[in-house]
Amino acid sequence: MSAIQPLQIWHHPTRGQFPVLMGVFGDRERIRFFLDPQRKYACHISNAELISGAIARPEPPYLLAHSSDRTVIFSPDLNTLLPVLKYSSVDPGPTVTLGLVYARDTKSGAENCSFHRITIKPGSVTIAMSSTGHLRRLLDAHSLRGQRLEISVNIGLDPVVYIASALSQPAVKYGENELGIAGAIRKQKIELAPCFSHSGVFINHAEIVLEASIGNETEMESGGRASGLSMPEYLGYYSSTGRVSTLLVTALSHRVNAIYQTLSGPGREQSELLGVGVESSALTLITRHVTSKIVNNIVSLPAGGGHLLLVLQVRKKQQNDDENVIVMANIILENIPVTKHVFIVDEDVNPYSHSDVMWALATRFRAETDLYITRCLQGNPLDPSQSSLYIPDTKKGQTKKSVFDCTVPFRLKKKFRRAFI
């Protein structure tokens, strides 16, 4: 799951009419390249800091009068056109995994970019949404007004658009347009264009776009041979089947020589994308609540799917920092539901290295003094340990979280000097 994924393209897939690209986000170094392609920023400036600067000075997207040259197909046969994959035998059907949904509230103007699993079945198309996500809030607002939510599903984008869409609260609030953050990173406004089959808009440079709408229609997501199971999730387990929204697709458009982009569920790509969001949220919280600058870096480890495991690399400057680092970790765990464990390490420990973090755990941690357990908090319902099956009387998606202080006490810093770095 956490191994680096190679960048690969298949020019002649066995189904569909477009080449297939995978592995774009399969390495943290690639993420950094997308955020800073000309290497203008020093390596000690983290990805989260680069994104934080873009959040502070967004470049709102620009709506064109007409799109660039595209081929448009109304009422498309997606099974014939798209080289969509099944990733396991229990998948409910071939699934689009990097379909970035762009939606806008026609009344309030609130906007949202987020990527969702879109499954193509023999007689329908479905979209999976979190019950607490921003897209669900937009859909509920339209449903209350008796309206369908018109959306575009954008496939094959500038990587920074996907990175920005992975951001969530508190880094990005409900209704804020993530495309403004992508525009700030690129120092160029992201262009939007009017859809061809409804009044929505799409991202003009997208390789392939599905135009669709969502209403109150739902259907049961059906798995394959293993009854009750759906697709493998990013944490490495199968999810359970449930009700999903039905997507009414009205058109497909694509650029000349378009490429279809996708990723697998449990793998480095999704972990790196999700990790950027967690790191940015953690930095937002630290900046908001902590006055002293003692955090050097924030790294979400891919072994936790980009969500569960967070490393804080700190530089203690005084005795009080022994306590300050614990306070910071607890603020993060209380305000980022998906994060479960925080490891705190010193500045001489490489936060990107699983081995180095485990070395710090082995030599700078004692459970009786350095392990801190929180009260029961909102967690990640996709983590199977956060259920009553694991610990009785546990509400699904709630858990006690952990802080592992793998730092040297300030008074002993000189006695824990590493022989090799």
How far, in Å, CA of 4 to CA of 269, rounded? 8
Q: Which pLDDT band holds residue 122 (cuts at 50, 70, 90)?
A: confident
Which has the closest alpha carbon to 117: 148, 142, 140, 93? 93
Q: Which pLDDT band holds residue 234 (cuts at 50, 70, 90)?
A: confident
Question: Looking at residue 4, what is its pLDDT?
Answer: 87
Task: Please state the φ and ψ torsions of residue 299, each to the nearest 5 degrees.
Answer: -130, 125
Residue 1, token pair as written in the block: 């799951």
How far, in Å, CA of 91 to CA of 340, rounded? 28
Residue 286: CB partners within 8 Å, gap ≥ 6? 295, 298, 328, 331, 332
Assigned fold of 8-264 = Pnp Oxidase; Chain A (2.30.110)
Q: Which pLDDT band holds residue 227 (cuts at 50, 70, 90)?
A: low
* Residue range(s) occupied by CATH 2.30.110.10 in the chain: 8-264
Question: Looking at residue 232, what is its pLDDT?
Answer: 78
Is pTM beyond 0.85 here?
yes
Question: Looking at residue 236, what is its pLDDT?
Answer: 85
How far, in Å, CA of 82 to CA of 75, rounded? 14
Q: Is the omega angle on the peptide bond into residue 170 within 30 degrees of 0, that is, cis?
A: yes
* Residue range(s) occupied by CATH 3.40.1670.10 in the chain: 290-416
Q: Which pLDDT band holds residue 168 (cuts at 50, 70, 90)?
A: confident
- Does 381 have pLDDT greater than 70? yes
Coil/strand/helix, residue 249:
strand
- Mind giving me the DSSP string for 28-95? HHHHHHHH-TT--S-TTS-HHHHHHHHHHS----EE-SSPSS-EEEES--HHHH---B--STT-SS-E
How far, in Å, CA of 66 to CA of 201, rounded? 10
Cα Rg of the chain, angstroms: 22
Residue 23, token pair as written in the block: 């592995």
Which has the closest alpha carbon to 407: 367, 362, 364? 364
β-pairing, 243-254 vs 208-220, is antiparallel
What percentage of the chain exceeds 70 in pLDDT? Answer: 97
According to the 3-state scheme, what is the secondary structure of 256-310?
CCCCEECCCCCCHHHHHHHHHHHHHHHHHHHHHHCCCCCEEEEEECHHHCCCCEE
pLDDT in tens, 315-361: 999 999 999 999 999 999 999 999 999 999 999 999 999 999 999 99
Task: Tell me how long the chain is.
Answer: 421
Q: What average pLDDT does range 83-106 have in this prediction?
A: 88
Assigned fold of 290-416 = UbiD C-terminal domain-like (3.40.1670)
Residue 41, token pair as written in the block: 């920023």
Query: Please, are residues 26 and 272 in contact by the beta-carbon 8 Å criterion?
Result: yes
The number of beta carbons lying within 10 Å of the beta carbon of residue 240 is: 11
- Does 137 have pLDDT greater than 80? yes
How far, in Å, CA of 111 to CA of 134, rounded? 9
pLDDT in tens, 243-278: 889 999 999 999 999 999 999 877 899 999 999 999
Whole-number Cα distances in Å, 67 to 76, 162, 194, 208, 273:
19, 20, 7, 13, 28
Task: Please state the φ and ψ torsions of residue 243, each to the nearest 5 degrees.
Answer: -85, 140
Residue 284, token pair as written in the block: 């937002």
- Does 224 have pLDDT greater than 70? no
Question: Looking at residue 35, what is its pLDDT?
Answer: 94
Whole-number Cα distances in Å, 207 to 17, 20, 38, 69, 281:
13, 11, 24, 11, 30
Q: Which segment of 49-58, 193-202, 379-388, 396-405 scores lowest on mean pLDDT?
A: 379-388
How far, in Å, CA of 310 to CA of 315, rounded? 17
